[in-house]
Copies of this chain bind each other. A is one copy, B any other.
């Protein structure tokens, strides 16, 4: 786990804190409302102290199937077993754990994943976790790629192809860097090559606040631009280095950087946006595509744990 240690802190302390908030120390207790977990009601170090990999994704059922898959991969449990939802007291997010791996859903879009990440980073802090790697496993629209290609994000960019995240604090806009860990991205790419079962590339990921107009789709409830306008915009994105589009990566990158967590975004493309807007592939094919980030990240975690 040496690489995790190098990336996650300043190197001054063996156990740097992921939170950057002086007010937290003054609080008697901390209730993580959207997880329905709290320092007064749960022994967080006992429950989570051994966590080294946190895998997150939009859909709760996908994160449930991931914990079953990784349990089998790491020989820590039967993939057919039922793993309890640690956040069963709320339907905002779902959370599962097996050994050093935590699997958490984050819903769709920047605000939803930001709520989850704030509470996750506090959870890791309260549980006194160290050397944690955070991996987002998602779906996306590709640009100029065969559907089913897995994209590892080099950097997350906004709708103008700039690697920044705009955070509003006390009504004022603050720009944050969204750069992700290059070494981790390269290691994941190598895992994809070794699996040798589907195409894996590194590219920029565009993150939007909207699935329809924000991603230049022609099939939303509203559309004020032409097919030609759409094509021009997506081609411009491609020339700027963008290979896929999703809805969480900028704030994910910004919060990894703020906390010192080593992070990566691994998304499969469900369609090529240069060819269309709707998901026309069969249900089974789409389900198969969604397993690819899980398999790639699974092989990465296995390799890391075996290397310790």
- A residues near B, CB below 8 A? 18-24, 27, 30-31, 33, 58-61, 91-92, 107-112, 114-115, 117-119, 121-122, 125, 159-161, 167-171, 208-214, 216, 218-225, 227, 229-230, 233, 236, 247, 255, 258-259, 278-280
By the criterion CB–CB under 8 Å, are A19 and B112 in contact?
A: no
Cβ-defined contact, B169 with A59, below 8 A: no
Distance in angstroms between the alpha carbons of A23 and B19 in the assembled complex: 47
What separation, in Å, do the CA atoms of A224 and B172 have in the docked complex? Answer: 13
Q: Is B109 a contact of A211 with CB atoms below 8 Å?
A: no
- Expressed in whole angstroms, the minimum distance between the Cβ of A6 and any Cβ of chain B is 22
Please tell me if the beta carbons of B258 and A222 are within 8 angstroms of each other in the complex. yes
The answer to whether B167 touches A160 (Cβ under 8 A) is no
Which residues in B have their C-beta under 8 angstroms from that of A169? 213-214, 216, 224-225
Chain B residues whose CB sits within 8 angstroms of the CB of A171 once the complex forms: 159-161, 233, 236
Residue from B23, B31, B230, B233 in contact with A279 in the complex, judged by beta carbons closer than 8 Å: B31
A258 / chain B contacts, CB cutoff of 8 Å: 221-222
Report whether B247 and A111 are in contact in the complex, using a CB–CB cutoff of 8 Å.
yes
Say yes or no: A115 contacts B211, CB within 8 Å.
Answer: yes
Residues of B within 8 A of A224 (CB): 20, 169
Q: A20, B108: Cβ atoms under 8 Å?
A: no
Q: Which residues of B contact A161 (CB under 8 A)?
A: 171
Give the residue of B109, B125, B220 whose beta carbon is less than 8 angstroms from that of A21: B220
A18–B171 Cα gap in the complex (Å)?
33
Residues of B within 8 A of A24 (CB): 219, 223
18 contacts between A and B (CB under 8 A): A20-B222, A21-B222, A24-B223, A31-B278, A31-B280, A92-B108, A107-B108, A111-B209, A111-B247, A115-B210, A121-B221, A167-B213, A168-B209, A169-B216, A170-B216, A170-B229, A209-B209, A221-B259
Q: A111 to B216, alpha carbons, bound, how many Å?
A: 15
Cβ contacts under 8 Å, A221 to chain B: 18-21, 117-119, 121-122, 125, 255, 258-259
CB <8 Å contact, B22 and A223: yes
- A170 vs B211: C-alpha distance when bound (angstroms): 12
How close is A242's CB to chain B, nearest CB, in angstroms?
Answer: 11
Who on chain B is nearest to A18 by CB?
A: B221
Check A210–B167 contact: CB distance below 8 A: yes
Contacts A168-B210, A211-B115; A33 near B278 (Cβ below 8 A): yes
- A167 and B214 in contact, given A33-B278, A91-B59, A219-B24 (Cβ under 8 angstroms): yes
By a CB distance below 8 angstroms, the chain B residues around A125 are: 221
Q: State in angstroms the CA–CA spacing of A221 and B60 once bound together.
A: 23
Please give the distance in Å from A231's CB to the nearest CB on chain B: 11
Compute how far the CA of A71 lies from the CA of B297 in the bound complex, rounded to whole angstroms.
45
